[in-house]
Amino acid sequence: IHSSSSRSTMAEMRQRGQAADAPKMESKQGDGDAAAAATADGAEGEQKKLHVGRGSKTPDRCRRFLLSTPFKILVLTLVIVVPSYGLMSFAPIALPVLGIEGILQVPIYLIGIWLTVQFIYNFAMSQFTDPGSTMSVKPTYEAIGQYEMVFADDADRGPLTQVDSGEPLLYAPNWCDHCAHWKPPRAHHCSFCRRCTLRMDHHCPFTGNCIGYRNHGHFVLMYTFAILGLAYALALLLPSH
């Protein structure tokens, strides 16, 4: 009887001990989950801080608007209005004053229209052409992030080799902490667009786009025709003074 009562007493003590330890285990588990969540939140916050700290200080709503299609259309509309107003309103008044009348005005208008169309077209292409994403460009050796140096215009020659060893000449690896992938040579991370761009030149606030591999030519032509258009207008006005 004594033995059975002792066993029942021990069983009751174990049950009480387990019942007393259960809240502690739950508390430890809860503390562990909270610590893990805090660590994850801290890492995410640190990543955001890294991204914003090294990048643009522009408020996020303002940044999204300056990258949006409505903003680009607004700027493009202003770009279209200015030279078009000059051709339709100013030229008919200025040309007779300069003594250019009748059929002689035709080549003047044709040159002005051609310069205007080229300027507007290249401005729009600079706005709406993707400058080039690095996500689809994988390193030759993806594990170490290195690219082989080759001639773009002579693929038959293969990669360049080192003089002393004959091994392929490789670009140094370049890792983007923001996008978490390898960056090809001459690629840079745009803190305003928050993406890596191939052959990035700069971010243009007027076009609302990065200037890179695929739209750099349009950007250069836009400025070229803008300068030619201004020089053409000044050349027409100089004889009047």
204 counts as catalytic? yes
Catalytic residue among 62, 190, 196, 204: 204
The distance of Cα 237 from the centroid of its chain, to the nearest Å, equals 41
Cβ–Cβ < 8 Å for 202, 186:
no
Active site residues: 204
